[in-house]
Amino acid sequence: MSPTSLFSEGNIGATQVKNRVFMAPLTRNRAQADGTPKAMATEYYKQRATAGLIITEATQISPLGKGYLDTPGLYNETHAEAWKAITSAVHQQNGKIFIQLWHVGRISHLSLLPKGEQPIAPSAIRANSQTFTEKGFEDTSDPRAIKSEEIPSLIEQYRSATRLAKSAGFDGVEVHGANGYLLNQFIASNCNKRTDAYGGTIENRSRLLLEVIDAVSNEIGAEKVGVRLSPIGQFNDIDVSDSSEIYPYIYKELENRKLAYLHVVEAFPGADVPEAHKTLIENLRSSFKGNYIANGGYDKDRGQDIVNSGLAFAVAYGRPYISNPDLPARFDKGIALTEPDQSTFYGGNETGYTDYPAAT
């Protein structure tokens, strides 16, 4: 067996993993209304503990960070205790688990936020996008521009969530800087029109992401921190016209920080990737010297190829893990994958969540 196969052990930062078939974050909208994970989430993650690394569903760092119905949080002790049951179950199965820390920024709705609050964003520009509320899909609400003096408190929310992640037993944290959410909004020129230290130049638009990563790293150690980016992702009304300018700078800054990994969304389900975008992803990937996790439409063979090539440490699989809790074993033994029921992806009970059986 090649030492760089999908089924090889390895070390990613401070974390030893048993294979390179990682579980990508998957929003499932099954938490309690206050953000506390439900008991069934413990079984869900336990079933998938054969992944080399589980990266949890996106988890808001504050009440104002919430943007979808019934997503989990990590900003109080009640949340941490519920997550502790999950990490304990995963560790009992010899699994490893990072939590993805999330602030949605302008991708939210007034009905999801504390009374009297509105979404925050780099600038007061509403996203041409929708979010999921009690009424179903609704247009996002108008945001307000976060004030410069509020930013230290925002960064502290990431630090506090990381502190809670440590107490809950997580092996590390992943900072969500992708898919059109708050940190990505600061990076993107179409939704960041600021004139302070967080807007305008490439360095300024990257500043919040890097300051958050530094704060989180100071709390838990850089070797236990990952970050997720989407350089070509236009989801949630993001302009990527200058990605070829800003992301080389961001990649180099992340490389210098010696993080556990960089996790990149290279493609979105059902979306065509223009050749220029493919080239950008390939050039960025080949230039990055740290641990790289590839994500986006990979099957077993393509995953094997990129890991064997040395261009990626691991591949993060999303939807296949919904209906194949034993995905590494299925890949290893050539067992056919179960197709997921898309009607159960978001919200609901155990159906389509914990009732997919393992093949072996």
Which residues participate in catalysis according to the annotation? 181
Distance CA 28, CA 33 (A): 13
238 alpha carbon, distance to own chain's centre: 17
- Report how far residue 243's alpha carbon sits from residue 348's, in angstroms, rounded to the nearest whole number: 37
| Contact (CB, 8 A) for 67 and 27 | no
Rg (CA), the chain: 19
d(C-alpha 233, C-alpha 265), whole Å: 8
136: region left, alpha or beta (phi > 0 left; psi from -120 to 50 alpha): left
Contact 169, 176 (CB under 8 A): no
Distances (CA, A) of 251 to 172, 228, 246: 20, 11, 9
Rounded Cα gap, residues 339 and 275, in angstroms: 29
Interatomic CA distance for residues 318 and 295, integer angstroms: 8
Q: Give 293's strand partners.
A: 263, 314
In this structure, how many other beta carbons lie within 10 angstroms of the beta carbon of residue 310? Answer: 10
User: Measuring CA to CA, how many Å separate 65 from each of 74, 101, 112, 240, 334?
Assistant: 11, 10, 10, 23, 41
- Pick the closest to residue 347 from 29, 27, 36, 71 (CA basis): 29
